[in-house]
Amino acid sequence: MRRLLGEEKLRHRELDLLSYSYDSSFLTQTGDFRPDVIVVARSAADVAATVRYAHEHDVPVVPRGAGTGQTGGAVAARGGIVLDLSPLNRILELDADNLQVICEPGVVHADLNAFLAKRRLFFPPDPGSTKMCTVGGMAANNSRGMRAIKYGSTGDYVLGLDVILPSGETITTGSVGSRALQSSSGLDLTRLFVGSEGMLGVITRLRLKVLPLPASRGLVLAAFDVLEDSGKAVLAVFQAGVLPSAIEILDSSAIKAVNLYKPGLDLPAAEAVLLFELDGNKPGVAHDAQRVAEVVCQFTPRVRWADEPKQVAALWEGRSVVGAASGQVRPGATRVYAGEDICVPIARVPEALRGIQDISGKYETIVVTYGHIASGNLHAAPVIDMASAGERERVGYVAEEIHELALRLGGTVTGEHGVGLTRRAYMTREHGPALATMSLLKNALDPQGIMNPGKTFPE
Ligand SMILES: Cc1cc2nc3c(=O)[nH]c(=O)nc-3n(C[C@H](O)[C@H](O)[C@H](O)COP(=O)(O)OP(=O)(O)OC[C@H]3O[C@@H](n4cnc5c(N)ncnc54)[C@H](O)[C@@H]3O)c2cc1C
């Protein structure tokens, strides 16, 4: 590999191997996921050379963006090469007339949107990890975010990809040389690689659809004394014909966490707080915000709304900080990412929230819950003492029961974060015979099983 790539692109000191053995999942803090070597790619040619080497020598190769994934997807489950794509971070071309942008996989999501905002455009998927995660990682995980109810998933904006297959060959999906915004030509390989979690090939270039940036945003905040009323309010807003750009929920533990973290925000004490975001032109936003406030008033009198940017930002801040705030509910303890991404039918969100509270009680483990209620995607955040072996073990049961709850309610174990290592055990149950078809596709493209082995498919 030295001869092939040069020493400067390789990392193999113990500290490097250790650094690359984690992502944001709790799982990677509990085992040893060190690779044998890291390749820091500087070009698509480096990626192709690395994959060809892996193919020739039958060595595992694991693509990696920023390592913000929460499933162990970007770590080496079976040793081999971790391929760091973060230096491939150039925005190659903005084709504003055709509403698309071409970029390398290591571009950080927030950087892309800062670049687009200057041209009054935006790339709508909006993960909470925006300041860290890469667009390559987002496509590989089919990431979503708070605005998925209105704008959909990353996959909805991927028009085409350059992918280096496990054989080392490069293909372009979405029609070579096309600048069309849609296509019905051939099998949809773009969709196949989106969400494939680095198991079918390495993405080295993305053609992404962008949209005009909404001129204005408004926010409605409502506090509920009865958890179930929050679910009813969401359905009532949809039935009133309003489609907010986001609806977020904080349960009582999340409200407490935010108030401990930033007392100035002074979120109302309640069983649940909902935040409805509206976007569009200013008069339309004001109209919709008032309409949401009227509808929600049927369920609670505690409703506020704003459409001035500073007021909107102030109301939104509670939601923005909740991830970081979760650990505050127990001094000295840590929020861990386990069982953190279930998605249930929206009408069953209140049941899911109650269910999570029951699991929290059963295992005497604090679980702070918040998430994208509009699409039923809930983030449960167990808070544990990392020094306690008993608590580290118990959190595994908590995550397991939360996943079981999601399946029982007719949902899925992952709404946006993916499967990786942490949710393989549920794949047979979730997909039935369709899992064998997934396995056929994987084996057809990667018969040696070198591309991110050990992920998604149960052992
Ligand atoms: C605080 C926080 C908030 C988050 N909020 C959200 C959220 O709101 N919505 C959401 O969807 N996710 C969220 N996530 C999860 C995570 O940020 C996303 O899944 C993100 O898209 C991962 O990007 P990454 O660059 O870090 O990818 P990595 O973690 O490096 O990799 C993720 C997966 O993609 C594969 N991969 C990476 N790059 C490539 C490539 N170029 N080609 C092929 N495969 C590749 C890896 O092998 C791995 O399987 C959050 C994470 C954190 C820590």
pLDDT band at 315 (very low <50, low <70, confident <90, very high): confident
Strand 158-164's sheet: what is its strand order? 91-95, 100-103, 202-209, 158-164, 170-172
Please give the number of the atom of ligand 1 that sits closest to the Cα of 143: 11
Q: What is the dihedral of CA 370, 374, 377, 382, to 10 degrees?
A: 10
Please give the number of the atom of ligand 1 that sits closest to the Cα of 196: 44
pLDDT band at 143 (very low <50, low <70, confident <90, very high): very high
The two structure tokens encoding residue 58? 């039958």
Q: What is the Å distance from ligand 1's center to 405 Cα?
A: 24
pLDDT of residue 265 exceeding 90: no
Which residues face 203 on adjacent strands? 163
Say how far apart CA 222 and CA 301 lie, in whole Å: 8
pLDDT-wise least confident of 5-14, 309-318, 335-344 = 309-318
- Predicted TM-score (pTM) of the model is 0.96
What is the tens place of the pLDDT at every residue in 206-261?
999 999 999 999 999 999 999 989 999 999 999 999 999 999 999 999 999 999 99
pLDDT at residue number 307? 85
The two structure tokens encoding residue 403? 């996943």
Domains of the chain: 2-84 (3.30.43.10), 91-176+185-212 (3.30.465.10), 216-327 (3.30.70.2190)
pLDDT of residue 318 exceeding 90: no
Q: What is the Å distance from ligand 1's center to 126 Cα?
A: 12
For residue 4, how far is the Cα from the chain centroid? Answer: 34
Say how far apart CA 206 and CA 15 lie, in whole Å: 32
Cβ–Cβ < 8 Å for 59, 81: yes
Atom 23 of ligand 1: nearest residue by CA position: 137
Q: What is the Å distance from ligand 1's center to 306 Cα?
A: 32
pLDDT at residue number 324? 86
- How far, CA to CA in Å, does 306 sit from each of 65, 105, 223, 442? 37, 37, 15, 49
Say how far apart CA 180 and CA 190 lie, in whole Å: 14
Atom 37 of ligand 1: nearest residue by CA position: 137
- Name which of 451, 458, 456, 457 is nearest 80 in CA terms: 451
Q: What is the Å distance from ligand 1's center to 141 Cα?
A: 6
**Mean pLDDT estimate for the chain:** 96
The two structure tokens encoding residue 236? 């009532």
Please give the number of the atom of ligand 1 that sits closest to the Cα of 85: 41
Cβ–Cβ < 8 Å for 85, 134: yes
Say how far apart CA 115 and CA 118 lie, in whole Å: 6
pLDDT at residue number 406? 98
Which residues face 219 on adjacent strands? 277, 306
Please give the number of the atom of ligand 1 that sits closest to the Cα of 69: 29
Q: What is the Å distance from ligand 1's center to 307 Cα?
A: 32
What is the tens place of the pLDDT at every residue in 415-431?
999 999 999 999 999 99
pLDDT at residue number 292? 97
Q: What is the mean pLDDT of residues 89-113?
A: 98
Q: What is the mean pLDDT of residues 360-384?
A: 95
pLDDT band at 311 (very low <50, low <70, confident <90, very high): confident
State the residue for tokens 């942490």. 422
Cβ–Cβ < 8 Å for 272, 224: yes
Q: What is the Å distance from ligand 1's center to 105 Cα?
A: 11
At residue 190's C-alpha, the angle toward residues 128 and 246, to 5°, is 30
At residue 362's C-alpha, the angle toward residues 358 and 368, to 5°, is 55
Say how far apart CA 112 and CA 318 lie, in whole Å: 25
pLDDT at residue number 149? 96
Say how far apart CA 105 and CA 108 lie, in whole Å: 8
Q: What is the Å distance from ligand 1's center to 303 Cα?
A: 35
Say how far apart CA 125 and CA 209 lie, in whole Å: 11
Determine phi and psi for 91, rounding to 5 degrees: -85, 115
pLDDT band at 310 (very low <50, low <70, confident <90, very high): confident
- How far, CA to CA in Å, does 137 sit from each of 100, 194, 391? 19, 10, 31
Cβ–Cβ < 8 Å for 159, 172: no
What is the tens place of the pLDDT at every residue in 22-58?
999 999 999 999 999 999 999 999 999 999 999 999 9
- How far, CA to CA in Å, does 199 sit from each of 26, 203, 282, 341, 443? 21, 11, 44, 21, 10
Q: What is the Å distance from ligand 1's center to 64 Cα?
A: 9
The total of other beta-carbon atoms located within 10 Å of residue 215's CB is 12
- Name which of 218, 362, 407, 194 is nearest 303 in CA terms: 218
Which residues face 108 on adjacent strands? 134
Pocket test for ligand 1, best of 68, 112, 205, 335 (most atoms within 8 A of CB): 68
The total of other beta-carbon atoms located within 10 Å of residue 286's CB is 17
Say how far apart CA 61 and CA 51 lie, in whole Å: 7
Ligand 1, residues at Cβ distance < 6 Å: 23-24, 62-70, 73-74, 85, 105, 127-129, 133-134, 136-138, 140-141, 143-145, 197-198, 202-203, 323, 416-417, 420, 452
